């Protein structure tokens, strides 16, 4: 059966070109890889290669012809034993392959390939243009804490250490790596004692090389281990953010579900005290932007413990944002053998009826103080601690807003495209009719963190701003 | 011309003797008849597959980027011949050859190129992103150099599990200038990880020749600061690649840590499908094709030694063409992914 050689496309955006020259004549033998013609577009001249072996039976488009549409037959190739008489019989279509351009009039870059020409219209029924809805997800409820369970006052630091130690005892594939996690016992003492219990195979000191060890962690996770990668602070993780996003977060999707990265990236995030702009930034909004990641940012020690254990067991990459100032604070933690909390579930820190205040992480410290002050003024605020930033528990927020009709969001991060902005936008779309006042978002100021003590204080949110916002939305 | 300084890949140069470890490039060992035929068939499959992919791209069946491996077939083929079960491979975006070498299904690869549901990533990864846990192939990565850290992590897992497997981490002469490559070298050497860094030096990072982009063009010595020995290998001779692969896998399995193999190779086609080819001459490409082609070298030896005649080799070609035709047929006719796939495989 003769093979039709079709006008090839040089890029998904090319629609037509010129046949500038035939390098083989009718009757010439060709083998795969032979250059048979040159074609030309406005950008480049390309060589056309034969893909099949045979004899060039007939040239259908003469050289010099302009405006030849892509996929038009330009020649017919005869296979062994065929003659020109076979032309016209049912032909197989086989466009030639293109070789590199040999002369060109313009620059061509890969960006030119990003055209959106779709595949030929042959593949069964075309999908409907409408976008399928995202599946609804429902977060699990917190586990019941049996009556009579002892509560132990624990610092966030100890809670995080206990969570890692318990998970490392449970699963031999769990290991921790990072700068100063082993012999130094952790730059912030979060990994204290782990080297002594688990040894250097599972508690791995790395060189100061965030991009590299984040990638090593993701590779180990792709191979099925359960790495906990500690960043001394999340500021340094910016060096590694390509591995976190492009490798860890996207591989499951790009592999069609075959291969993911069960890994935890954890460490202190946000402003500490007097460490200035490069060491004081909240990444909650950054990572919350990325499909494929889970983002956890606990406030209490109990949440830190229960959620870190959940993060280590999770099959997905989890960004676990801690805070240096919270490390030393103590909270009650239930004394249970295996206290694991659900990722994706907000916690109602205090219920109330007049206004909803949503916060997370260190933002809760302002919120809790403001709530007490507001109580003194007769305002009964409901305080929601998000705990997880992605997936975000809108069910809990919206149920609360439907009750209180007012919402204030509090966080330390920068204001533009903040977590609070996203919540405000979603609430206005999903619960507009329930709002009696605009949503107010309290965030850090839109400035790099200054060093001077007075300026630093001004750059961060404060209790007065939260109280003021609540008074504004409750029209007091 | 920028490339004038560099001639066709020489046979292994004496200079790269893996100084720090007293390593020298092994001499290519003659293949047995079976090995020659096996190499011939494997390389031909890649060649024909890539030609077909180029053709389907021309027809508009393949979108986006498509980086063909034509010319470099001996590199993955010789290395694959040195592996044992469980050894892993990871590479960048010029990856179809690596997938076929690791015996991923040609249908699955081609259907992924056309973005169909039968593709290895169910149509969601495309040319640069395919994986197979079963075949120990860890991608297909689109960010230049990222796979070097990831491959080092795979090796970390092997050492953690004490399983004696080795990870082949491929990257190009372009990626060899990325910072994380050296961060990875440092950790791999420090921890004696069983990883072989295979630098496929095809002389051009996109359109920038090695001499215009690299202060040290002897890539085998790029690990010197990290005490990683390296050797230069004639990447157009599958026997030389296999011999280097045998040496390197043995080195890693003996617990000696990482090793660098600089494969001196050449890509015939453009960087991607739309490549203006302004950075090298037509004659340079033609000279490589006619004098150094990896497949022609094996073919000549097979005929020379009378281990096969033209008809037998034609039969191999036919068999390979049939596999490729079947893959192309499947890839053109398979359905696109179900719209519901939009929302699957984001998180588990």
Whole-number pLDDT of residue A117: 44
Contact B183 A209 (CB under 8 A): yes
CA atoms within 13 A on the CB side of A350: 19
Which chain A residues touch B339 with a CB distance below 8 Å?
127-128, 131-132
CATH of domain A3-106: 2.40.50.100
Percent of chain A with pLDDT over 90: 69
The whole-angstrom distance between A3's CA and the closest CA on chain B is: 13
Q: Tokens 């980086």: give the residue.
A: B67
What average pLDDT does range A209-221 have in this prediction? Answer: 98
pLDDT in tens, A96-108: 555 544 333 333 3
- Using CB atoms within 10 A of its CB, is residue B98 exposed (0-12), middle (13-18) or buried (19+)? buried
- Per cent of chain B over pLDDT 90 is 84
Of A319-323, A431-435, B287-291, B320-324, the least confident: B287-291
Q: In what helix (H) or strand (E) does residue A135 lie, and over which residues does it extend?
A: none
Q: Contact, A144 vs A173, CB < 8 A? A: no
For residue B336, what are its two tokens? Answer: 């696109």
Per-residue tokens: A312: 């280590």
Q: Are B275 and B269 in contact (CB under 8 A)?
A: yes
What is the model's pLDDT at position A21? 87
Contact criterion met (CB < 8 Å) for A220 and B154: yes
User: What's residue A91's pLDDT?
Assistant: 57
Measure the CA–CA gap between A306 and A297, rounded to whole angstroms.
Answer: 12
Q: Is the peptide bond between A425 and the residue preceding it cis, with omega within 30 degrees of 0?
A: no
3-class DSSP state of B185: helix
For residue A90, count other CB atoms closer than 10 A to its CB: 7
Evaluate whether A345 touches A372 at the Cβ level (below 8 Å): no
User: How many Å apart are CA B170 and CA A158, to the nearest integer?
Assistant: 42
Our CA-based measurement puts residue A233 at a distance from the nearest CA of chain B, in whole angstroms, of 19
B258 to A15, B192, B226, B254: CA distances (angstroms): 49, 6, 10, 11
Topology alike, domains A151-334 and A347-473 = yes
pLDDT digit string, tens, across residues A135-169: 887 778 888 889 999 999 999 999 999 999 999 99
Measure Cα distances from A148 to A151, A305, A334, A335, A336 in Å: 9, 20, 10, 10, 11
Return the pLDDT at A118. Answer: 45
Which site among A42, A215, A246, A288 would you substitute to test the B interface, given the most B Cβ atoms closer than 10 Å to its Cβ? A215
pLDDT tens sequence across A259-279: 999 999 999 999 988 999 999
Q: What residues does each domain of chain A span?
A: 3-106, 151-334, 347-473
Q: Answer whether residue A423 shows pLDDT above 60.
A: yes
**The overall pTM is greater than 0.95:** no
**pLDDT at position A120 over 90:** no
CATH class label, A347-473: alpha beta
Q: Give residue B8's pLDDT.
A: 44
State chain B's mean pLDDT as an integer.
92
Q: How confident is the model at residue B1 (pLDDT cuts 50, 70, 90)?
A: very low
The HSE-up count of residue B160 (CA atoms within 13 Å, CB side) is: 28
In the three-class reduction of DSSP (H, G, I as helix; E, B as strand; rest coil), residue B232 is classed as strand
Query: Would you tell me how many other CB atoms lie within 10 Å of the CB of residue A78?
Result: 22
pLDDT-derived band of residue A5, with 50, 70 and 90 as boundaries?
A: confident
Check A49 against B51: CB less than 8 A apart.
Answer: yes
DSSP conformation letters of B242-285: HHHHHHHHHHHHTT---EEEEEE---SS-SSSS----SS-HHHH
- Cβ contact, residue pair B54, A253, below 8 Å: no
Q: How far is B244 from chain A (nearest CA, A)?
A: 25
What structural domains and CATH numbers belong to chain B?
11-239+249-272+281-327 (3.40.50.970)
Which residues on A lie below 8 Å from B122 (Cβ)?
Answer: 256-257
| Interchain CB distance below 8 Å, B131 and A49 | no
Q: What is the pLDDT of residues A7-40, one digit of tens each?
A: 888 777 778 888 988 988 998 988 877 788 888 8
**Could you read off the pLDDT of B138-197 as tens digits, one per residue?**
999 999 999 999 999 999 999 999 999 999 999 999 999 999 999 999 999 999 999 999
What is the Cα–Cα distance from B305 to B282, expressed in whole angstroms?
33
Are A356 and A381 in contact by the 8 Å Cβ rule? The answer is: yes
Element (H, E) at A376: helix A363-376
Q: Which residues of B touch A115 (CB under 8 A)?
A: 63
Q: Which of A166, A179, A210, A324 is catalytic?
A: A210
Quick check: is A210 catalytic?
Answer: yes
pLDDT the model gives residue A122: 46
Which residues of B are less than 8 Å from A128 in CB distance?
339
What does the DSSP 8-state code read for residue A66? E
CB B260 within 8 A of CB B230: yes
DSSP 8-class letter at B191? T
> What's the confidence (pLDDT) of residue A13?
74
Is A108–B276 a contact, with Cβ atoms under 8 angstroms apart? Answer: yes
* A38 and A20 Cβ atoms separated by less than 8 Å: yes
Q: Within 10 A of B191 (CB to CB), how many other CB atoms are there?
A: 18
> At residue B121, does pLDDT exceed 60?
yes
Query: Which candidate from A108, A117, A132 shows the least CB-CB separation from B63?
Result: A117
**What's the pLDDT band for A88 if we cut at 50, 70, 90?**
low
- Counting residues of chain A whose pLDDT is more than 70, the rounded percentage is 90
ipTM: 0.91
CATH class of A151-334: alpha beta
Cβ contact B258:B187 at 8 Å: no
Distance (Å, whole) CA A321 – CA A269: 6
Is A279 among the residues known to form the active site? yes
Q: Would you state the pLDDT for residue B269? A: 87
How is B69-100 classified by DSSP, letter by letter? -TT-HHHHHHHHTT--TT-EEE--S--HHHHH
pLDDT at A364: 98
Q: Scan for tokens 């496309």, then name that residue.
A: A9
pLDDT at A110: 42
Kindly determine whether residue B190 and residue A213, on different chains, have CB atoms separated by under 8 Å. no
What pLDDT, on the 0 to 100 scale, is given for residue B13? 45
Q: Cβ contacts of residue B145 below 8 Å, gap of 6+?
A: B171, B175, B178, B179, B180, B181
């Amino acid at each position: 059966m003769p093979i039709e050689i079709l006008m090839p496309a040089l890029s998904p955006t090319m629609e037509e070109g010129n046949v500038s020259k035939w390098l083989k004549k009718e009757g010439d033998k060709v083998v795969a890889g032979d250059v048979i013609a040159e074609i030309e577009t406005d950008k480049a001249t390309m060589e056309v290669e034969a893909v099949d072996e045979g004899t060039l039976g007939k040239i259908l488009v003469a050289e010099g012809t302009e405006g030849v549409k892509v996929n038009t037959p330009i020649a017919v190739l005869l296979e062994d034993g065929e003659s020109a008489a076979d032309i016209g019989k049912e032909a197989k279509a086989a466009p030639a392959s293109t070789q590199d351009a040999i002369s060109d009039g313009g620059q061509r870059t890969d960006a030119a390939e990003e055209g959106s020409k779709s595949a030929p219209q042959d593949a069964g029924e075309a999908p409907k243009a409408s976008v399928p809805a995202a599946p609804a997800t429902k977060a699990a409820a917190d586990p019941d804490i049996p009556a009579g369970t002892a509560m132990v006052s624990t610092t966030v630091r100890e809670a995080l250490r206990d969570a890692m130690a318990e998970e490392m005892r449970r699963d031999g594939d769990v290991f921790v790596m990072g700068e100063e996690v082993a012999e130094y016992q952790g730059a912030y003492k979060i990994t204290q004692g782990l080297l002594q219990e688990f040894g250097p195979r599972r508690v791995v000191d790395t060189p100061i090389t965030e991009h590299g060890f984040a990638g090593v962690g993701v590779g180990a996770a792709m191979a099925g281990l359960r790495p906990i990668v500690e960043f001394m602070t999340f500021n340094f993780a910016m060096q590694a953010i390509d591995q976190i996003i492009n490798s860890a977060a996207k591989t499951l999707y790009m592999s069609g579900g075959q291969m993911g990265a069960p890994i935890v990236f954890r460490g202190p995030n946000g402003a500490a005290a007097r460490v200035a702009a490069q060491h004081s930034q909240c990444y909650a909004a950054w990572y919350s932007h990325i499909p494929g990641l889970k983002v956890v940012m606990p406030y209490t020690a109990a949440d830190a413990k229960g959620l870190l254990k959940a993060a280590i067991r999770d099959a997905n990459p989890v960004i676990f944002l801690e805070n240096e100032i919270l490390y030393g604070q103590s909270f009650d933690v239930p004394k249970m053998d295996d206290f694991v909390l659900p990722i994706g579930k907000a916690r109602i820190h205090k219920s109330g009826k007049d206004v909803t205040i949503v916060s997370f992480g260190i933002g809760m410290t302002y919120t809790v103080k403001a709530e007490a002050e507001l109580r003194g003024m007769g305002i009964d605020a409901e305080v929601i601690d998000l705990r997880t930033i992605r997936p975000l528990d809108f069910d809990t927020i919206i149920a609360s807003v439907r009750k209180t009709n007012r919402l204030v969001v509090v966080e330390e991060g920068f204001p533009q495209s903040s977590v609070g902005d996203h919540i405000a936008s979603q609430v206005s779309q999903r619960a507009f009719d329930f709002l009696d006042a605009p949503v107010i978002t309290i965030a850090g100021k839109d400035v790099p963190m200054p060093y001077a003590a007075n300026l630093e204080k001004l750059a961060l949110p404060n209790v007065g701003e939260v109280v003021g916002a609540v008074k504004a939305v409750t029209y007091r | 011309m920028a490339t004038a300084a560099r001639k066709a890949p020489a046979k292994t140069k004496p200079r790269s003797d893996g100084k720090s470890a007293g390593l020298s490039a092994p001499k290519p060992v003659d293949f047995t008849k079976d090995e020659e035929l096996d190499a011939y068939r494997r390389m031909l499959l890649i060649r024909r597959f890539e030609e077909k992919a180029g053709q389907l791209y021309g027809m508009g069946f393949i979108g986006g980027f498509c980086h063909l491996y034509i010319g470099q077939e001996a590199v993955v083929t010789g290395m694959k011949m040195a592996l044992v079960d469980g050894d892993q491979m990871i590479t960048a975006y010029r990856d179809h050859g690596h997938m076929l070498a690791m015996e991923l299904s040609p249908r699955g690869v081609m259907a992924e190129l056309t973005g169909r549901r039968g593709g290895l990533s169910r149509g969601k990864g495309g040319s640069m992103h395919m994986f197979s846990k079963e075949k120990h192939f860890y991608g297909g990565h689109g960010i230049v150099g990222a796979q070097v850290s990831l491959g080092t992590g795979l090796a970390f897992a092997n050492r953690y599990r004490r399983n004696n497997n080795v990870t082949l981490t491929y990257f190009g002469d372009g990626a060899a200038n990325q910072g994380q490559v050296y961060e990875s070298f440092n950790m791999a050497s420090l921890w004696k990880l069983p990883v072989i860094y295979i630098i496929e030096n095809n002389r051009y990072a996109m359109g920038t020749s090695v001499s215009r982009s690299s202060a040290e063009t002897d890539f085998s010595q790029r690990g010197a600061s990290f005490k990683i020995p390296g050797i230069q290998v004639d990447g157009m001779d599958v026997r030389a690649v296999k011999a280097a692969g045998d040496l390197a896998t043995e080195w890693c399995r003996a617990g000696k840590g990482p090793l660098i193999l600089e494969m001196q190779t050449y890509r015939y086609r453009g960087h991607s499908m739309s490549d203006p080819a302004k950075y090298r001459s037509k004659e340079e490409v033609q000279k490589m094709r006619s004098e150094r082609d990896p497949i022609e070298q094996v073919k000549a030896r097979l005929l020379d030694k009378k281990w096969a005649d033209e008809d037998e080799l034609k039969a191999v070609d036919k068999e390979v063409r049939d596999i490729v035709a079947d893959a192309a047929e499947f890839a053109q006719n398979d359905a696109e992914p179900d719209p519901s796939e939009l929302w699957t495989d984001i998180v588990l």
